[in-house]
Amino acid sequence: MNWGHVRIVAGTDLRRLFKSKDYWIPLVIMAGLFFVIIPLLVLTMLGRLEQTGFVTQVTDIVGRLPAQVTDAARGETATARAGYIAAVFLLAPIAIIVPVTISAAVGSNVIVGERERGTGEFLAHSPITMRELYVGKLIASLVPGFLATIVGFSAYALVVNLTVGASIGTWFFPTAGWVMLIVWVIPPFIAAALAVILRISARVKSAAAAQQASSLVTLPVIILSYGVSATVVIAPGRSAFAIGAIAWIVAIALAARGASKMKRERLLGVASET
């Protein structure tokens, strides 16, 4: 494997993406909505509804949550504890929805896009191996998702500490579960989804078809990760580590399979041309 080839493919794709504002601005807006706006609204509202019946309802819901959750909740008042639980446990899945969606949006187009633009012709006649191309494209699709995770997570931490942290009396975020989620569990979930999406991108005839098909992959990954992320945040111990390890193994296996199945002729529109 020529890593110089991998680096230039990934770097070129990222440079193109960075220059395509009409492509990444909606993704940034989506990330801002899920990581900042919605948490800010939810957590601010929770902190300001102390004198209403809503707090009673929230307290009632909190009381029915698993003991692991209620025991972990910090804060002196019911509102503070509700805010803590919402910030740490209920909003956890957004940490995976956003990066998976962003990476899928980028990844679905990376190979079929080469064919549609005609740049696949150059790559097909170049000495780059299909394994190098696949890995380069995979990295180029992973980076926006990872970047969204890191930046979004940092922004989310700030929102949580400024809203809920004030009522608890200390900045408490990120918790160990969230760190485990961000560093160990989310990356392989994104990688696994992308490994499949890139194979789809190599096989379908148009970018529109690739986006449609990739949503079929993204949805189950999001549903699965929703459950997984809640587990990891509640109990960031050995089982959470094992979940991440299994996800890494699956992701690497899918990526290896995808790289081996990549065909040079898929970069060409060969079906109708002679």
Interface ranges with other proteins (CB under 8 A): 4-5, 8, 12, 15-16, 19-20, 117-119, 121-129, 264-265, 267-268, 270-271, 273-274
Cis peptide bond N-terminal to 174, omega within 30: yes
Least Å distance between CB 2 and other proteins?
Answer: 9
Least Å distance between CB 145 and other proteins?
Answer: 20
Q: Burial-class residue 241 by CB neighbours within 10 Å (0-12, 13-18, 19+).
A: middle
Least Å distance between CB 115 and other proteins?
Answer: 10
Name the residue nearer to other proteins (CB basis): 5 or 81. Answer: 5
Name the residue nearer to other proteins (CB basis): 120 or 174. Answer: 120
Distance in angstroms (rounded) separating the CA atoms of residues 5 and 133: 8
> How many CB atoms are located within 10 Å of the residue 170 CB?
9
Least Å distance between CB 24 and other proteins?
Answer: 12
Least Å distance between CB 274 and other proteins?
Answer: 4
Name the residue nearer to other proteins (CB basis): 126 or 154. Answer: 126
One-letter amino acid of 248: W
Name the residue nearer to other proteins (CB basis): 106 or 221. Answer: 106
Alpha helices in the chain (DSSP H): 3-19, 21-32, 38-48, 53-64, 67-72, 78-85, 94-117, 119-124, 130-168, 176-180, 186-203, 207-234, 238-261
Name the residue nearer to other proteins (CB basis): 144 or 165. Answer: 144
